[in-house]
Structure 1
Amino acid sequence: MRRLIAALLCWLALGVHAQAQDPALLQHILDELGSHASVRAAFTQSRENPALTQPQVSRGQLLFVVGHGMLWQVTEPYRESLALTGVRTARIDEHGQLQTVRGSDRGVAQVSQMLQSMLSGNPEDALRQFEVEAHGTATRWTLRFTPRQERMARVLRRIELDGDRYLQGIQVELANGESTHISFADTRDAGPLSALEQRALGITP
């Protein structure tokens, strides 16, 4: 899960001067995403690989707080809770204790940084090395990212984001035929955070 999300979001984190087909629509989307300081959602992640007969599916809950990071909590088919911020990645055990994740800190930290950029509506940290196409309307839109550089295109075919008031789906297609789709449901403003959520994200009450 971490590898797939990190692959998606660290590619996007390379920055942008977006040349979208509809600049006004793109700006509206970024403004709308940036209007939510904290968001909760349920997610379903499905990974397809030509070598696998069935997709690998996981489900869980996401909490994202602008300026602090996110909690990514898998509930099926196993249980795992991760706190991802710009300075660390930590696993939350069954007792609510944080254990720093070693070895993948750099890649996983880019996950949080990318979400910070996209969900805070900051185009300067999202799209510099991609051709960007904005389609649809202000109430139902799609952003398509296609790599500009041949080196990146050898790995990544394209990424699509779709949404309305919130980001509702992410589709990642790799050049080797693998694909990952993440859909979000019951997306809403987060409301008050629990003491554990605040501690995990380094938020001072």
Structure 2
Amino acid sequence: MKQPLVSTGSMLFDRRSGVVWRIETPYKATYVITDGGMREVGADGRLVAPGGGGRGVAQVSRMMRDMLGGDLSALYAQFDVEASGTPERWRMVLRPNQPQLAQAIRVLEMSGGAYLGKLDMTFANGNVTVLEFVRPTPVDAPAPIERGWLEAR
């Protein structure tokens, strides 16, 4: 049986701008996810030029922001949604209703309370990624360097 790869870090979600995802272990990396796609932050603190991926990467980036932000209308447009529970303890199962999306994602399972607590992503190839959001902490605004990354074009 394969051992899972476990990484730790933090994620800043700004509903208007995007996500700053910092991985601390087993290696250090920072990714910035906006409607324009995903970019890595270099060792010097500057954004690395965007790689390929184009429209597909941008679509996945928007979908991730919709999930983290609880934008249900956007999710219903792309998925068949099964929801259960209460606002304090809820669960959603999303299955792609778009053939193009179904080529990459088999099912997404989300659960939480006031905040998203866990996101299980099962991909079409059978791989599974589980994100657990522990100790969510609201912030008033991103730090200046994070704001710069999120607003960069």
TM over 0.5: yes
Equivalent pair of 2:17/2:150 in contact (CA under 8 Å): yes
Matched, 1:94 2:49: no
Could you tell me how far 1:117 is from its partner in structure 2?
2.4
Residues 35, 61 of structure 2: 8 Å contact kept: yes
Structure 1 residue runs without a partner (length 5+): 1-51
1:128 CA displacement: 2.7
Q: Which has the higher contact order (CA 8 A, sep 6+)?
A: 1
Equivalent residue for 2:140?
191
1:156-167 aligned at under 5 Å gives the runs 156-167=105-116
Deviation (angstroms), 1:72? 1.1
Q: Any residues of structure 2 matched to 1:1-205 within 5 Å, and which?
A: 53-148=2-97, 156-202=105-151
Per mean C-alpha deviation after superposition, the further-off stretch among 192-201 and 96-105 is: 96-105
How many residue pairs get aligned? The number is 152
- Percent identity reads 33
Normalised TM-score (structure 1): 0.64
Higher Rg: 1
- Paired with 2:102 and 2:65, the residues of 1 have a C-alpha distance of 24
- Quote how far apart the aligned CAs of 1:174 are: 3.4
156-165 vs 107-116, greater mean Cα deviation: 107-116
Aligned-CA RMSD value = 2.5
1:4-63 per-position Cα deviation (integer Å, ceiling 9, x unaligned): xxxxxxxxxxxxxxxxxxxxxxxxxxxxxxxxxxxxxxxxxxxxxxxx621122221111
